[in-house]
Structure formats: structure tokens, C-alpha cells
Structure 1
């Protein structure tokens, strides 16, 4: 059904009518005949004033209904834009970590992680500890050249971080403060900034004099089970995914299910 759109000039009708009623009330003849009986006590001028008042009431009701409808439409539009922004932000976060969250390295070692919290499990930390960053990853980019793990990890982190920044810039007006704060913490966390985004530099520094030197995922053996920045990164990942609408099971957001 086609909606009737009330013109904006209706906004001016109530004050105009009120002014007219005030003028009539001041300069007009009596509006009430005390000698008459019942409804006949209302004089013609009284009926005029009453009619003007009813017109003002109807105009006010129509304007209020129109404003309420416009507000509801604006709210629905805002919610759709917010949902779009959250979906894009979720995809950007998942892209940042996709070489690890969807990797083949889990097949022969343990079950693939379903949520960020799974990366804190000892068996998965041990699997990552055995990962040589200079080894060839299973990923291809169409160039027919092998992509090593450190190259893939930094590429994904760089692309994902860039997408997060762009999404925050586009939807900053619509995102609640909690999403912006969590996404900013994710971008600035130590593990992302000092490891994933600079992992090529770390590998190059460790293989500068010996290209065959293995470089493990955890640079220091003690970090394997006690790496605060690593744990913070996955906790922030979980928070960002949850706020962006990822499917949640048993209190944890799931990978690949926006």
C-alpha cells in the first residue's frame, strides 16, 4: 500500500491556527450565550473557535504520526548500515587470522580450532611451536611461486588490518563505542603489531647470516605456553568477533560463521 507523505508545510499549520484562534478570542463577540439552553449556548463564533481548535489538534496528530514514521525509517536504515559495517568488520578480523584458523597444519596434529579460545589449548600451542616460519605454506596466490609461512602470515595480517581501519573510518558514525574500542585494541595489540605485521623482518633478522636456519613460530621456547601478548591477541579476537555478530556456541564465537 502506498504511503501518504505529509508535506513539511504542515509543521506551520498548528502555530498559524493557534494565532488565528487567539485573535478571534480577543476581538470576537461572546462565544457563550448564558441565556440559551444546552448546546445552543455556543454561539457561531464559539463554534468557529472550537473548529479552529480541532483543526489544530488534527494537524498536530498528523505531524506527530509523520515524525514518528520518519524516525522509525531512519532507525531501520541506521540498523541496516550498522549490520553491514559489523559484517565487514567481522570479515576483516577473520581475514587477519585466516592462515591460522583455517590451516591444514591441524589435520595431523589435533582438531582444527573452532574459536579463538581454542588457540590457547596446549595441543594447539605445541602444533604452532613446531611450525617453521621459513617452510612452505599450503597457500597459493596464482604466481606459481611458493609462499612461505611468514610471508602468508604477514600478508594476511597486513590486508586484514588495512580492512579494519577502512571499515572503522567508513562506519565510525554508526558503530557503538564498544566496537570501536575493541577493534582499536585489536589493531594495537602487541602480538599483531610486533609479530604478525613484522614477521618478515623477524625472519630476515634471524636468517641474515644463515638462510637455512629454522625460525619457529614461538621465537623463544618459554613463550610456547606463557606468552601474554599471544593470549591477549586471541581474547581480543574473540571479543571483536562477538561484538560483530559471529555465531556463538558455548560462550565462544565460531570461525567462518558470520
Structure 2
């Protein structure tokens, strides 16, 4: 049976992305709602991989984008986007960034980087769940996992992903485009997928904590494939949990209908 403590730490962080997003978007953003937002999920992987394959230097641009946008995204999560958010928690993103910068090669710094990524993804998950029709967003999440799986198992993602992970903004600035802890690593998209699942469940008022626990179970089972492969698409467990929730909801509705007819 495969088990890695370093991997477990990142898996728990990914599960938090399911549990934390709250629901709702500011009124002034509602005018931007549309089904095309669901395309962000699969395109976030496909476009990045194509861009890095064609222009490896684009990885440097992406690491700067991550550095500039992820800390504010985390601040928004602490101050607004997550359950239990308080405006006075938002400044905590600053010491997290300082730790991620000062202790890049220690596990403390790695945890700070992971916290920044989780926070920014929670914000994105809430915003996206409020911007796109949920049915299309669910299909987009499944499509994202499918694209990720095709690329990983077809050995098309590993090389460009290595370029992206190695990219650095320079001047000793922290790399926020992916999370690592010890020997384990997860890409930004893996946390993003989980946060979108959390955002969907928040809008539907479903039990996010139960879904986060389910994520841990599914991820542990999925990780047993590390016995035979070196790399796995970590966007798959959120998609599996989503499909499981939808199947359970469908069965529950059929049971209620059957009871109503008797």
C-alpha cells in the first residue's frame, strides 16, 4: 500500500479548498455572469501546456502572474471569500508571503506558499461558482480532469510542467505557481479544481466538510496508482467526488419521488 506523509500534507491542503469557499458574488460582478466562464477550467490546463511547449519563456511570465495575483487572492479569501472570513484577517496574507519568500527551502516556507495558493483558489472557486451556470461548471470540472488525465497518462504534461515549476521570477522572489512539501508537489490547477468543487457545493448548500473528507478518501485511493506510475493528475479526485455527489443526489430524488407516489 502506498503512503507518503509529504503527499498527505498537500492532499489535506487540497481538501481544504473544498471545505472553505463560501457562496455569492458582489452585486457589481453579476453583470459578468455567463456560461463561457466554465471553459476556464479545461483551458487553464490545455492553454498553459500548449503555450509552454511553443514558447518556454512563457513560464517566466506565468510565475510573475502568480506572484502578483496569488497574495491578493489569498487576502480576499481571508477577508471575504471563505467561511469564517473577517476583513481584519486579510492582512495575514502579508506575513504568509514574507515566510514564503524568506524560507523558500524549508517546510515552514513551503506551508506558507501552500496557504497562499489555497487562499487564492478559494477566492477563485467562489467567484467562478457565482459567475457560471452550475451545470456548465460541473461539466467544465469533469472536462478539466479529462484533459489533465489525457496529458499526464500520455506523457505530454510532465515536460512543460517541469519547466513551469522550475520557472522563477528572479531576485530571490518566491515561486507561487505550484506547491511543494518535502518530496511531494501539486500544481496550482489541482487546488483550483478542488476550490471550484467547493464553490459549487457552497452555492448548492451541500455539506462541504463531508465532501472534503470524501476528497481525502478518494485521493488516498487514487494515490495507490503511485505504485505503478510516477505522476498522477490530481484534478481527478475532485471530479470523482463531484460525480459521486451528483449520483447520490439523483438517487435521493428518485427515492423521494417513489415515496411520494406510494
Shorter-chain TM-score bucket reads under 0.3
Choose between structure 1 and 2: higher helix proportion. Answer: 2
Which structure is richer in relative contact order (CA contacts within 8 A, separation 6 or more)?
2
Task: Provide TM-score, normalisation by structure 1.
Answer: 0.26
Task: Give the TM-score of the pair, scaled to structure 2.
Answer: 0.26
- Structure number, greater radius of gyration: 1
